[in-house]
Amino acid sequence: MQNGQIDVKAEANDFAAEIGGVDLAAGFSEETFRAIRGAITRHKVLVFRDQHLDDDAHLAFAERFGPLEGHINTATRHDRLPKIQVFQNVDQAGEPTGVHPERGTLVWHTDKSYVARPSLFTILRSPSVAKTGGETLFADMARAYGALAGPAVQRLDGLRAVHDWKRSREKSDERPATAAEIAAAPPVDHPLVRTHPDTGARTLYMGNHASHILDMDRAEGEALLADLERHATQDKFIYRHRWRDNDVLLWDNRCTMHCVMPYDAAKERRIVRRAVVQGDPPG
């Protein structure tokens, strides 16, 4: 399908689309930008294949969508460009280390939901990908919410989930949060069901950073979040992205969750780089 100056090839259920006809490194017109902006609103996850961006071009593309944010985890910060994060399992000689760089990416989450203004869009590119495993799965949280029925839905409206970086690290079996990280990201609460400002769609907003439900028995809240995650991550709500070298992905964190599938970090080289556009407080 032709849409403005880009080609849009959507998945069968309209969740995720591959975008052709644009060279992100070469720059593009405002009209093309508007077409991309329209496509992300509709499809939530966009895939651009065979893009040859360096870090500066990656940053420039991301900045078209708004101000970028840094990350409290300085271990993955780019040496020269602090708004770029590097996730890789290779050492300086380019050999696999056997260690996935961030275990929190292996569990379902939405980026940086543990801050008051969580991430809007994430732009991730893949200079080198695992040949087996390492796919990224996305869950359509608007469709997942829409598929809930009856009293279960009414129960969710008005609830607020507490999102907590420190607890999130514990749950994903990562190194403990540092004192500086805890000071920079104390727990925050967001509506469990938020309204997408561009579409008006109601969408579940949760994931691994969500530790429990505000003003609810702790165990009961954890069980509710686990139930909702099981519901939202059924195959019918999922897009599975099989990475190729030089893919660029753009996704909307307000209405999706994602996680990385396991791969053999001792054998496969996986290098991805990320820039994140700052969002607004969920409402």
Catalytic residues, by residue number, are: 109, 111, 258, 274
CA distance readout (Å), 29 to 19, 59, 61, 151, 198: 15, 17, 12, 48, 22
For the CB of residue 71, give the shortest distance to Fe ion in the complex, in Å. 11
Residue number closest to Fe ion, CB atom: 111
Structure tokens at 162: 């507490």
**Minimum distance between the CB of residue 258 and Fe ion, rounded to whole angstroms?**
6
The binding track of 54-93 with respect to Fe ion, each residue x by CB under 5 A or -, is ----------------------------------------
Give the integer Cα–Cα distance in Å for 223 and 245. Answer: 39
Closest to Fe ion by CB, 69 or 111: 111
Q: Does 189 bind Fe ion (CB under 5 A)?
A: no
Q: Which is nearer to Fe ion, 51 or 119 (CB)?
A: 119
Number of alpha carbons in the 13 Å side-chain half-sphere of residue 142: 20
Number of residues that bind Fe ion (CB under 5 A): 1
Residue given tokens 């897009």 in the structure block: 239
Contact partners, residue 271, CB within 8 Å, separation at least 6? 86, 87, 88, 89, 90, 126, 127, 128, 129
Contact positions with Fe ion (CB under 5 A) in 97-126: 111
User: Which residues of this chain interact with Fe ion, rule CB under 5 A?
Assistant: 111
